[in-house]
Amino acid sequence: MTTPRMLAALAAVFMLTSAPVLAASGKLVLYTSQPNADAQATVDAFAAANPDVEVEWVRDGTTKVMAKLRAEFAAGDPQPDVLLIADTVTMEGLKQEGRLLAHPDAPTDAFDPALFDKDGHYFSTKLITTGIVHNNDAPMQPTSWHDLATEEAAGQVAMPSPLTSGAAAIHMETLTSNPDFGWDYYEALAENDIQPQGGNGGVFRAVASGEKLYGVVVDFLPIREAKAGSPVTFVFPQEGVSAVTEPVAILSTARNPEAAKAFVDFLLSPEGQQLAAGQGYLPAHPDITPPEGFPPRTEITLMSFDPASALANDQANKERFVEIFGQ
C-alpha cells in the first residue's frame, strides 16, 4: 500500500534526480604561466562557454607565480581558485602539502593515465616536448639523443640549463632516470664540449643563426619558426622525448570550486584541447589532430617521467649537474 509519506519520499527523489545541473557562475581567479596571448585566448574561450563566470587572471612565469602564491600562503590568504602552470613537479609539491583539491570526476577517460595525478589533483593539458633541433646546413641529421655525444657534434650543441629552465630540469630528470642514459650521458655531453646555459629561446637563436649546428629545445619554437622560414628542422629522437605538460589544478582553498572544476573540464574537453592545438601546441588528448609541423601522436614516444621522484631528486640532480659541467 502506498502511503502519503511514501509518495512524498518518491517525489523528493524524483526532484533530486531530474533537477538540472546548475551551470558554474561567480568570480574565478586564475594564476597562470601561459604566455599573455595564450592566457587571454584561453580565458576568452572558457568565458564564452561559461558566460556566468567572471574570470580574473594573473600571469607570470611559473617561478614568479609560485613566489606570489607562497607569500599568500604565508599570509593565510591565497587568492587563486585554479592554477595553470608549467610543470607537474611543482603541482606534486603542492599536492604533498595538501594545497590541492581533488577533482576525480574530471573528463580524463580518453587520456593516457600517465598524464594525470592518480588521485585527481592535477591534470596535464598539453605536451610541450623537448627534442633536437638542427640547422639545415648541419652535416649530420640527428635521429638519436646519443648523436649529440658523437664527434660530429663536438662543440656544436646548444642546451638550456636546468638551473634556468624548468623544461630542461624535467628533461634532465627524464634522461638520468632512464637506464639507457643515466648520468653517464650527461658526462658524455660535457666531454663533448657542451656547456648548457640560459633558456630555450637562446638555444633556438644559436641554432637558427648557425652559431651552433644542433640544439636541445622545446618543440613549438623551431616548428613554428621553420614554418616562417627559419633554416631549422626539429627532430623527435627515436628513443622518445621528455615533456612539460602545463598542468591545471584546483586549490584546496578555492573560493569558487565549482567554477574551478568547470575550468578544468573545459581545458580537458575536445574544445579546450582543440584550442591548445590552435595555439600551436601538441594537445594531450590523443584524438585531437596536432598542429601543422608535428607528426601524428602515434609517432611520438613520451619517455617515462615520475613527478614525485623528480620532486625528491630535484636538489641532488642540480648539484650533480653543477659538478659535471662546472657551473
For the stretch 176-203, pLDDT in tens is 999 999 999 999 999 999 999 999 999 9
CA distance 318 to 326: 11
One domain for residues 227 and 238: yes
14 belongs to a structural domain: no
4 belongs to a structural domain: no
Write the DSSP string, 264-301.
HHHHHSHHHHHHHHHTT-EESSTTSPPPTTSPPGGG-P
One domain for residues 196 and 252: no
Structural domains in the chain (count): 2
One domain for residues 90 and 117: yes
pLDDT in tens, 82-116: 999 999 999 999 999 999 999 999 999 999 999 99
One domain for residues 170 and 202: yes
One domain for residues 42 and 74: yes
Distant-in-sequence, close-in-space partners of 156: CB < 8 Å, separation ≥ 6: 138, 212, 213, 214
* Residue pair 239/33 in contact by the 8 Å Cβ criterion: no
One domain for residues 172 and 35: no
pLDDT in tens, 286-306: 999 999 999 998 899 999 999
CA distance 225 to 323: 34
CA distance 2 to 111: 48
One domain for residues 206 and 320: yes
One domain for residues 46 and 36: yes
Given this model, what pLDDT does residue 9 score?
36
2 belongs to a structural domain: no
142 belongs to a structural domain: yes
The CATH number assigned to the domain holding 108 equals 3.40.190.10
CA distance 120 to 91: 11
299 belongs to a structural domain: no
13 belongs to a structural domain: no
18 belongs to a structural domain: no
176 belongs to a structural domain: yes
One domain for residues 151 and 177: yes
Return phi, psi of residue 59, to 5°: -125, 135
Q: How many residues does the chain have?
A: 327
Return phi, psi of residue 302, to 5°: -90, 125
One domain for residues 157 and 289: no
- For 116-219, list the strands marked E by DSSP: 123-124, 126-135, 157-158, 214-218
**Domain extent for 97:** 25-125+245-294
One domain for residues 36 and 86: yes
One domain for residues 151 and 208: yes
The pLDDT profile of the chain, 327 residues, written as one tens digit per residue, is: 434 443 343 333 333 333 334 479 999 999 999 999 999 999 999 999 999 999 999 999 898 999 999 999 999 999 999 999 999 999 999 999 999 999 999 999 999 999 999 999 999 999 999 999 999 999 999 999 999 999 999 999 999 999 999 999 999 999 999 999 999 999 999 999 999 999 999 999 999 999 999 999 999 999 999 999 999 999 999 999 999 999 999 999 999 999 999 999 999 999 999 999 999 999 999 999 999 999 998 899 999 999 999 999 999 999 999 999 987
